[in-house]
Amino acid sequence: MFAVLKRDFKSYFNSPIAYVLIGLFMFLSSYFFNSYLSYGVSDITSNVVSDMSFLLLFVIPILTMKSMAEDKKNGTEVLLLTSPARITEIVMGKFLALYCVFLIMTGFTLIFPIILTVFGDPDLALIFSSYLGFVLYGAVFVAVGLFASSLTENQIVAAIIGFVGLFALYTIRYLASYFSGFLYDVFTWLSIADRYNDFMNGIIDISSVIFMISLAAIFIYLTVRVVERKRWSQG
């Protein structure tokens, strides 16, 4: 697992993709931060982090599109599939490599609450809950993107599948308004955006934490199953 993690993590920074995505993410996040600061908006950090979640709809599919798809295209997937390593370890290594890049990208944005703390008196509990929600949210998005990448060898197609999947997760709460009764309750319960908004409001609900971790685990499991099926076909 750690060998795959190390290899994939290095590969992201051996190409421009990680630098471009991190730079673009920071540029837009800084723009949001400056805008809220200029207008004197309260709870600046939670508002910025909320906007950052929207950026992930575009950043994560691009970041994850090569994770599995590139191995297929380069033929290195065969080496992975025939290696003695367990499929779960390979997939987890890839997930952790992607998640580390995501955490580095997130880490740069900590400059915003640091600035607010130096020059003001922000709500530190709200900042903590906002970032906790964001890193959990990011874990789900990375897992979905990794799953999308396992479905095809075409990176562009992987990015499109990833975006569609993430967009569906992001907007599922709006479907609830078209239903009532049981279906309304189901769509509301499945809404990751509503759970994320709770974190932005300073509410740390253990059920939401478990939900996001479980959702990420489900997509990692689905990725493992896709790769296992390919190993069986290879054998």
Give the tens place of pLDDT for each residue, 139-152: 999 999 999 999 98
Q: How many CB atoms lie within 10 A of CB 60?
A: 26
34-56 b/e with 16+ CB inside 10 Å = b? Answer: eebeeeeeebbbbbbbbbbbebb
Residue 113 near residue 127 (C-beta atoms within 8 A): yes
Q: Using CA atoms, how far apart are residues 178 and 183, in angstroms rounded to an integer?
A: 9
136: pLDDT strictly greater than 90: yes
Q: Which amino acid, one-letter code, is at 114?
A: I
Q: Tokens standing for 82?
A: 């025939």
Q: How far is CA 56 from CA 49, 99, 161, 180, in A?
A: 11, 13, 14, 30
pLDDT of 185 strictly over 70: yes
Q: Whose CA is closest to 69, among 141, 139, 144, 146? A: 146
What is the average per-residue pLDDT within 197-209? 94
Tens of pLDDT, residue by residue over 6-54, are 989 999 999 899 999 999 999 999 999 999 998 888 789 899 999 999 9
Q: Note the pLDDT tens digit of each residue in 56-112.
A: 999 999 999 988 877 665 655 555 655 656 888 989 999 999 999 999 999 999 999
What is the pLDDT, as a whole number, of residue 74? Answer: 61
Work out the average pLDDT over 158-162.
96
Whether the predicted pLDDT of 3 surpasses 60:
yes
Q: Is the pLDDT of residue 118 over 60?
A: yes
Return the pLDDT at 77: 57
pLDDT, the chain, mean: 89
pLDDT, residue 124, reads: 93
Question: In the prediction, which pLDDT does 63 show?
Answer: 96
Per residue in 162-184, pLDDT tens?
A: 999 999 988 887 877 777 888 88
Structure confidence by residue, pLDDT tens digits, 80-93? 655 656 888 989 99
The interaxial angle of helices 44-64 and 155-175, nearest 10 deg, is: 140
pLDDT of residue 101: 97
Break the chain into its structural domains and give their ranges: 2-234
Neighbours of 131 (CB within 10 A): 20
Note the pTM of the prediction, 2 decimals: 0.91
